Amino acid sequence: MTSDEATSVGSEDDETPTTGETPEAAGDSEASSEGDSDALWIRHGRHRAPEYAAGQRLDRYLSERFPYRSRTQWVRIIKSGLLRVDGSAPRAGKVVRAGELIEYDAEPMVEPSVDSNFRILHEDDHLIAVDKPGDLPVHPSGRYFHNTLLSILLRQRGQTLDAPGFRIVHRLDRETSGVLVFGKTREATGFLARQFQGRDARKEYLLLVEGRPSEAEFEVDAPLGPHPNSKIRKAVGVNPDSPESKHALTRFRVEATGPQHSLLRAFPRTGRLHQIRVHAKHAGYPIVGDKMYGLDEEFFLKFIEGRELSAEEEAMLRHGRQALHAARLTLRHPESDREVTFRANLAPDLVGLAADLGIDLPKDKDAA
């Protein structure tokens, strides 16, 4: 993997909802009010500089706003004449003014391949519930645009991001499989998203972890904020001393165990960035295959820099993606206001992983 992809791996929220508006107006950092201009930028190469960009150097602004290219790469692009500001060729150190039209004659980008074998669990006039595979980004970000769940769903219905027929309610990491819900109208999306914001939506995740907990159930109540020691800029950690940290609470239950690993069910009571992954690691049971919060974050650093893992490192990682699955989601339906539950059985690759780890999965399908 190249550095261009770094912002798409581990950068989405496992549990954090959007504000319940359209993807263009939602308040999350990846599918925010800037999402519309992201879509136009990627497809048309045209972008109006927002208010917050005023006063920044052009190269710095571009590298922070569109991090699929480094600052050095943006400088090279500016010097090559492929980028214009209000019709003129700028310098890399030009000071950006709000409202300026930035145009980029982008060279074609080859998107990474993904697993597009998702399954529709339920669809009506108000919402769509999907069982997402473990290698599919939810929405455009970084090098992923066409190869995302949102884009594929829209294409299948003859729709586009500029006029979507449904909207993002909440998100999952690219590597996290399982239940994901979209709203089909503004009203339905807002109704659903407010349940995530108010912690009324009940979520259950299945995860395969290193180790065997001594207790059948345990709880992790630990505030999450910027990781105090990580080399990874976006890494989250248990950080009670940071003013940016927020309360986070997760309950875990042991579903099955093997010789050295376990299948846990997680019940997040709050919805923080990477909450389940960090809390599992904090409890001493890192998720199998998690490059960022697993046994060694150097795996993630190697991954984003395009360096191959050694055979020994791959054996330690055990799986090509984090073994985290959104198994169950209960919320109120936008039309009836009655509770509905959507379930997704453990993804096939994780069923195979469990067998490799010597874990006998529960016979009850709702448990696995």
Enzyme catalytic residues: 173
Closest by CA position to 127, among listed 205, 201, 187: 187
Kindly state the DSSP code that residue 253 receives in the 8-state scheme: E
Q: Which two tokens stand for residue 154?
A: 């829209």
**Selection from 288, 319, 291, 278 nearest residue 6 by Cα:** 291
Distance, CA of 81 to chain centre? 34
Report the candidate in 27, 19, 15, 9 with the shortest Cα–Cα distance to residue 275: 15
Q: 197-223: string of b/e by CB count within 10 Å (b at 16+)?
A: beeebebbbbbbbbeebeeeeeebebb
User: What is the C-alpha separation between 130 and 241, in angstroms, rounded?
Assistant: 38
Cα 10 to Cα 273: distance, rounded to the nearest angstrom: 10
**DSSP H helical ranges for the chain:** 35-44, 58-65, 71-79, 149-156, 186-197, 275-282, 298-304, 311-317, 348-356
Check residue 185 and report its DSSP letter.
S
Of 116, 108, 111, give the one whose Cα is nearest residue 155. 116
Q: Give the Cα separation of 304 and 3 in Å (integer).
A: 5
